[in-house]
Every structure is written in structure tokens, then in C-alpha cells.
């Protein structure tokens, strides 16, 4: 995979994820049984279908929306054990269309699993092909990318305030408010149960990545008797509010940058390494990065061919570079930007922001905001002015972790509130899960693995990946092997508690 992928929460990611389904039928939360889904050929060698779900599960007989599915059949039908549902985290990653292009990578990484299981993915409600919300045009997204969402530069407060007003006004005029009010994780879990039911599966086996681990934990809380094997990679635990989440993310980014600087200083082939007396000095690498960020800030971005890489773009690209832990690749792109060509960083930023090849924008950013602002509203940041004060304190605490602030100024005073309190994760009645956490994960900190296990309360275990980067299975064949064996036979305890860096 390229570095132009998607990150969780502060940095949008296009990661592979997978989930495995058992086999039979059950009743779903909130009403009538779904009909068995019928797949039809689409996207080349794949199959598509839709599952109708209630907009509001408190009114199961009311309005419905369709959740889009895509399936890649098992490579060996004679040995088939079930189906695999792909969840890439995000939140709000539209994956139905993207699975067709990423499946070959997934298939190679999880060869045994994709031989014996269908691979199925779905778009979260309001995202991609599942009743997508529409709040703005392409011009507004271009404006978002050129606006200092950290509210540090002169004039940024007014610019962000106006941007937020335009975005929310567009949602009010164009989007279905009923869908916007229900795009939380609990409803995504209920939709997932309708998918399980429509596939004819009695028990759900699930592999979720990043924010997808929170979806898995929520599903296990709501439907503990419908769980077979849950593997949760890059464990994510939502803080009490968005303020807490931003602070935790900022600290994780700081750790990631420290690891990057140290690795670059040790590597003679690292393009951002110092020279002479500073050749092996991590601080020299950090200084070059800081100088580049300062240039983007003062000059309104960096040259990138006929376009410019904005400050927001740069911060997102940096966060994604930490996610992949491709230190040489990240350093090479930053060195090119130093030399006047930030084109490669811009290509990555375009993918992160959902800019398509025809210069239009998909639901990536809207999905991220609609879900996260609903799942985790601010507790004490009601206005953009208040966010500016909060952001200033975060920059002092985590000066290189400012990507954690993006794009959350737009959540201040988010008008679409959930109908009740967030469901507290407690899956004591569900089977044990395999929880995976990276020792140096710069997106979801290592401690979140143990915290998720504690909240699940069902004796789950933690598999530690001892390397860098986010989504351990993307970096480690050892992790992939443990995950595959767990999904194939969850009755056997994991053979390892840790996997070495690769």
C-alpha cells in the first residue's frame, strides 16, 4: 500500500480491515427480521448488495435507508467457512468502492483467511453508497484545506467561524437531518447486526482496525450472544469527550515524531538526516521538520507543481507518515518539499481528504465529522472562540502534535446530538476477544489496548506488536498469523502474546 492512505480520528486512513462471519440466522435489534440478501455481480469480479435498515431503531417500522455491501467470494469455495466483513475504521471510511482495489493486498496478507472466507465490506450509514449525506460543494472542501484549522495564524478565527457556518448551513439545506442524528457507533453496530442477519449468519466473527475496534466492542456490548471471534487491531478507546481524545492523540503524535527523528538520525540513507557534527542527532532532524512547517505557515503553503500544499495538508500528511512508519519514504517526501516540490505530499493529502481523480470530493471528511462529533462531542468547547483557547494550550503541551486538532474546530457547537448517552462498553457476556496494540503506535497509544480489555470485561487478551506504525497487521506477518488462526478457531488461545518489530 502507498502512504496515501487514511488515518483514524485526527488523520484520515484507508486501511484494510476484515471481519469474519459464522453461519445461520438470528433476530436483530429493533424490530422485524431482515430478508436474506441477494448479491449481484459488480466492480469486475465482485458482488454487490444492499440491506435496508431503520433510520431510527426506536421506530423500526418507520423510514428506512439502504446500507451498501460488497463481497469478494472465498478463493476456494469447497473449503469455505463463512464470510469476512471488512471494516477499516476512520471513522466513516467509505470502503465498498475501495475494497475492489485493495482486495489483492488483503488477499496476499491474509491468504489462508481469504481462501476460506468471503470478504464483505459495508459503508457506514451516511457514507459512500449508504444514503450519503451532502452538505457542501467541492469549493468548500478546497476552502477547508486552505484554512488554518488550528487557529494559530492571524485571521484564522474569523475564517474558521465562517467555514463552520457555511458547512452547517449546507447540512441544514441539503442533508437528511434524521440520518445526521443517527450516525453514531451504536447505530453502526445495529446496522452490522442487520448485515449479519441478512447474510444468514448466526454468530459474528469480526476483525476491526482502529476506530473499527470501538465498533466491534460496541457490537459485543449490544449483542454478546451473537459473537464468535472478535480480533481488534490498534485498539481504540474513546475518551469521555473530544477534548480528552485530542490531548491523548497529541501525545501519541509526539511519541511518533520522536521515533521518526531517532530512526532517521541512525539511518545514513535518510534524506532528512543532519550533516557533519549533527549527522546522528535526532534534534537536527526535528529542526529541519520544524523549519518546513514554519515555512508552510508563513508562506501560505508549499510549492507543489501547479498547486500548493497547505498547512492543513502538511499536518495530515505528517500524521499519515507516522501511521505507516515508512521513515525513509516520509523523509524523502519532506526533503523534496524543502527543495521546492511537495507534489508527493500533496498526492497523499488529496487521498486523505477524499479528493478523487476528477478533482471532486467524496464523503471522507463529512463522514469523519458527522460520526466523531456525534460519538464524542466537546464537553466544554461550545464555540470556535473557545476552541482557539483550547488549541493554544494543546500546542504548548504537544507542539509537534497539532494534527490532533484537525479538523475538530468544526465540531464546536455541533448541532446534531444523539438521543441518549453513549453506550458504555461492557461485553462480559461475550466470548473473549483478541485485542492488538502497537508498542509505538502513533495514532492509538499502546495503553488503549489494556484499557479496551478492561472495558470489555470478558477476559480478553492483548497481543503486543513491538514495532512502529498503526494497524499492526499491516506491518507484521506474525500478527497476521495470530489473527488468522484466531479467526479460524477462536476456541484455541492465542499462541503468542507479542510479535517482534518487522
Q: What is the dihedral of CA 351, 352, 353, 356, to 10 degrees?
A: 10
Q: What is the enclosing helix (H) or strand (E) of 302?
A: strand 302-304
Question: 210 catalytic, yes or no?
Answer: yes
Instruction: Work out whether the CA dihedral 220, 39, 53, 471 comes out positive or negative.
Output: positive
SS3 65: strand
* Active-site position among 441, 460, 468, 476: 441
The string of DSSP codes covering 327-369 is HHHHHHHHHHHHTT--HHHHHHHHHHTTB-TTS-B-SHHHHHH
Task: Return the biggest CA–CA distance within the chain.
Answer: 72
φ, ψ (nearest 5 deg) of residue 426: -165, 100
Instruction: Give Rg (Cα) of the chain.
Output: 22
Strand pairing partners for 304? 307
CA-CA distance, 291 to 166, in Å (whole number)? 33
Element (H, E) at 167: helix 156-174
Distance CA 258, CA 261 (A): 5
**Cα 492 to Cα 152: distance, rounded to the nearest angstrom:** 52
Residue tagged active-site, from 5, 130, 136, 210: 210
Residue closest to 314 by CA, chosen among 352, 365, 285: 352
Active-site residue among 315, 416, 470, 475?
Answer: 470
Residue 472: Cβ within 10 Å count:
28
How far is the CA of 72 from the CAs of 47, 48, 345, in angstroms? 7, 9, 32
Question: With contact defined as beta carbons under 8 Å apart, do 184 and 374 qualify?
Answer: yes
Give the helix/strand (H/E) hosting 186: helix 185-198
**Phi, psi (deg, nearest 5) at residue 131:** 50, 55
**From CA 379, how far away is CA 199, in angstroms rounded?**
39
The Cα-based distances of 483 to 206, 231, 332, 404 in angstroms read 10, 7, 33, 29
What percent of the residues of the chain are helix, what percent strand, and what percent coil, each to the nearest 5? 45, 15, 40
Q: Indicate which residues carry an active-site annotation.
A: 210, 441, 470
Amino acid at each position: 500500500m502507498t502512504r496515501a492512505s487514511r488515518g483514524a480520528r485526527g488523520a484520515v486512513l484507508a486501511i484494510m480491515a476484515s471481519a469474519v462471519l459464522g453461519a445461520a440466522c438470528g433476530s436483530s435489534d429493533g424490530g422485524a427480521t431482515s430478508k436474506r440478501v441477494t448479491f449481484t455481480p459488480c466492480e469486475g469480479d465482485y458482488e454487490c448488495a444492499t440491506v435496508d435498515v431503520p433510520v431510527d431503531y426506536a421506530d423500526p417500522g418507520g423510514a428506512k435507508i439502504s446500507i451498501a455491501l460488497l463481497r469478494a467470494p472465498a478463493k476456494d469455495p469447497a473449503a469455505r467457512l463463512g464470510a469476512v466483513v471488512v471494516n477499516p475504521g476512520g471513522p466513516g471510511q467509505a470502503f465498498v468502492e475501495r475494497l475492489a482495489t485493495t482486495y489483492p493486498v488483503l488477499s496476499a496478507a491474509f491468504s489462508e483467511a481469504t481462501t476460506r472466507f468471503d470478504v464483505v465490506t459495508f459503508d457506514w450509514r451516511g457514507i459512500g453508497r449508504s444514503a450519503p449525506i451532502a452538505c457542501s460543494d467541492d469549493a468548500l472542501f478546497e476552502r477547508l484545506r486552505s484554512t488554518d484549522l488550528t487557529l494559530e495564524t492571524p485571521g484564522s478565527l474569523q475564517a474558521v467561524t465562517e467555514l463552520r457556518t457555511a458547512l452547517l448551513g449546507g447540512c441544514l439545506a441539503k442533508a437528511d437531518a434524521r440520518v445526521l442524528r443517527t450516525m453514531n457507533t451504536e447505530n453502526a453496530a445495529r446496522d452490522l447486526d442487520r448485515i449479519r442477519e441478512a447474510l444468514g449468519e448466526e454468530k459474528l466473527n469480526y476483525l476491526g482496525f482502529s476506530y473499527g475496534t470501538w465498533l466491534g466492542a460496541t457490537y459485543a456490548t449490544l449483542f454478546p450472544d451473537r459473537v464468535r471471534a472478535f480480533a481488534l487491531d490498534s485498539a481504540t478507546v474513546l475518551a469521555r469527550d473530544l477534548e480528552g481524545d485530542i490531548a491523548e492523540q497529541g501525545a501519541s503524535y509526539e511519541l511518533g515524531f520522536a521515533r521518526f527523528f531517532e530512526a532517521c538520525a541512525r539511518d545514513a540513507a535518510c534524506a532528512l538526516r543532519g550533516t557533519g557534527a549533527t549527522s546522528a542527532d535526532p534534534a537536527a532532524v526535528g529542526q529541519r521538520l520544524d523549519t518546513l512547517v514554519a515555512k508552510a505557515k508563513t508562506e501560505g503553503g508549499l510549492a507543489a507543481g501547479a498547486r500548493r500544499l497547505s498547512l492543513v495538508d502538511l499536518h495530515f500528511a505528517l500524521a499519515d507518515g507516522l501511521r505507516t512508519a515508512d521513515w525513509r519514504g516520509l523523509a524523502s517526501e519532506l526533503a523534496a518539499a524543502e527543495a521546492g516540490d511537495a507534489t508527493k505530499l500533496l498526492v497523499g493529502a488529496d487521498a486523505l481528504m477524499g479528493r478523487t481523480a476528477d478533482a471532486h470530493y467524496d464523503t471522507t471528511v463529512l463522514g469523519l465529522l458527522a460520526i466523531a462529533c456525534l460519538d464524542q462531542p466537546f464537553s466544554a468547547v461550545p464555540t470556535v472562540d473557545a476552541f482557539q483557547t483550547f488549541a493554544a494550550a494543546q500546542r504548548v503541551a504537544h507542539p509537534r502534535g497539532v494534527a490532533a486538532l484537525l479538523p475538530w474546530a468544526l465540531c464546536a457547537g455541533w448541532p446534531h446530538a444523539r438521543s441518549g448517552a453513549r453506550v458504555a462498553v461492557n461485553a462480559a457476556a461475550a466470548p473473549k476477544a483478541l485485542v492488538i496494540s502497537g508498542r509505538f503506535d502513533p495514532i492509538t497509544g499502546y495503553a488503549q489496548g489494556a484499557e479496551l480489555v478492561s472495558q470489555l470485561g470478558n477476559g480478553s487478551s492483548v497481543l503486543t506488536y513491538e514495532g512502529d506504525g498503526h494497524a499492526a497487521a499491516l506491518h507484521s506477518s506474525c500478527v497476521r498469523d495470530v489473527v488468522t488462526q484466531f479467526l479460524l478457531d477462536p476456541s484455541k488461545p492465542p499462541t503468542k502474546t507479542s510479535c517482534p518489530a518487522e
